[in-house]
Amino acid sequence: MAFARVTAERLISALATNGKVEPYQWWPVRASRPGVIEKVAVTTGEKVAAGALIATLESEDARAAVVAAEAALAGARAQLATLQQGGAAAARVDIQNSISRTQLDLTNAQRDFDALSRLEKRQAATRQQVAEAEQRVNQLKEEIAALQRKSAALVDRPDIAAAEARIDQAKAVLEQARIGLAATRITSPQAGVVYDLPARPGTYVNTGDLVAAVGELERLRVRVYVDEPELGRVREDMPVTITWDALPGREWHGAVEQMPTQVSPLGTRQVGEVVVAIENPGLVLLPGTNVNVEIQSQVVENALTIPKEAVRSDAANQTGVFVLNGDRVQWRPVKLGASSVTRVAVLQGLSAGEMVALTAEQPLADGEVVRPVQP
């Protein structure tokens, strides 16, 4: 029969459960336009700076849209420049030439009119001749005024306003085309580590699809699932130890950061999610990992402890142990206190150095003769 000694020691009462690791904070990298992924520029686990290129989409159509928009803007600007200069160059030159010729004719006609007016005073010319010369002068003046009005009509203010509006529209189209081209470059919104990378070259993504996830991994959060009856043992700032089955012997340490706001089903359990913050030197622990969690809820100095497997219940459901007394066992009720994963503190019923029977396949009875073996 195996026995263990009642020992005075420092007992750390711990709550053992499980949890899941996630980045302390993270940022999704999403596609801002639909398209086919042309290139993935990073790998999982790679550190990136804010604005670093994560992936690119095929951009041939987007580049063509920018070129077309630039050409449309250049054409609108040229049209406005032509209007601001007074209309088409050929039309302006033709009107100016006509005005110059008519001005010359007017000068000659005015000279003829003046001469005939003087001759009329000396009765060397008739009144009819003077009237015809005056009519010629007036006609030429009207022709010049008409040509000037025609020149002014080449640049009408509403035409300039319409041309300016076309420029604004062309600028807007170009801006959208450039935004569309820029959106073919998918970049990281923050500095961090790429810990999730669903993007693959050749795959099609819609606007808003997740391309990658970037997170802060030097520090992590663990969502710890605490069974409802145990929640009363947990408080903020309690020390926590994390272990991972994939790396035996490694431990990560932190503290309870946030208590749960509700109890939810988790399989067959009712649990509260306790948030724990831990340090992750070397970035060894990975987001998404299922881990073992031990929350240190109490420390008892100089506690009398026994293995949990020594504790039994009698027919009256009274808690007790079988104590070695010579070569026999004696049933003794005990009062228990704080416990760790493997040991429990005894508040009443035992003394340091006494030996208690460990659980065995065969049942024990008070006063039964045994052959003690100490593990």
The helix (H) or strand (E) run that includes residue 346 is: strand 343-348
- Is the dihedral angle over the CA atoms 84, 90, 92, 93 positive or is it negative? positive
Query: How confident is the model at residue 315, as a pLDDT?
Result: 81
CA distance 166 to 41: 40
Query: How confident is the model at residue 157, as a pLDDT?
Result: 60
Which of 188, 182, 181, 240 shows the shortest CA–CA distance to 15?
240
- Which amino acid is residue 363, in one-letter code? P
Q: How many CB atoms are located within 10 Å of the residue 237 CB?
A: 8
Query: How confident is the model at residue 78, as a pLDDT?
Result: 87
Q: How many CB atoms are located within 10 Å of the residue 177 CB?
A: 20
Query: How confident is the model at residue 88, as a pLDDT?
Result: 55
- Is the dihedral angle over the CA atoms 99, 104, 109, 115 positive or is it negative? positive
Q: Write the pLDDT tens digit of every residue in 71-111.
A: 999 998 988 887 766 555 567 778 888 989 999 998 999 99
Please state the three-class secondary structure of 98-124 as a single string: HHHHHHHHHHHHHHHHHHHHHHHHCCC
Query: How confident is the model at residue 201, as a pLDDT?
Result: 95
At 143, phi and psi to the nearest 5?
A: -65, -40
Query: How confident is the model at residue 338, as a pLDDT?
Result: 86
The greatest distance separating any two alpha carbons of the chain, rounded to the nearest whole angstrom, comes to: 173
Q: Residues of the chain whose pLDDT is less than 70?
A: 84-90, 153-158, 375
- Is the dihedral angle over the CA atoms 55, 57, 60, 64 positive or is it negative? negative
CA 53 to chain centre: 14
- Is the dihedral angle over the CA atoms 177, 181, 182, 187 positive or is it negative? positive
Q: How many CB atoms are located within 10 Å of the residue 257 CB?
A: 16
Query: How confident is the model at residue 244, as a pLDDT?
Result: 96
If you search the block for the tokens 């951009």, which residue do you land on? 59
**DSSP structural state of residue 222:** E
Cα angle 239, 243, 249 (rounded to 5 degrees) comes to 115
- Which amino acid is residue 244, in one-letter code? W
CA distance 194 to 45: 5
Query: How confident is the model at residue 299, as a pLDDT?
Result: 85
Strands 35-40 and 204-205: antiparallel
CA distance 309 to 8: 17
- Verdict on whether the full-model pTM lies above 0.95: no
If you search the block for the tokens 């669903």, which residue do you land on? 198
- Rg of the chain taking only CA atoms, in angstroms: 48
Spatial contact of 285 and 21, defined as CB atoms under 8 Å apart:
yes
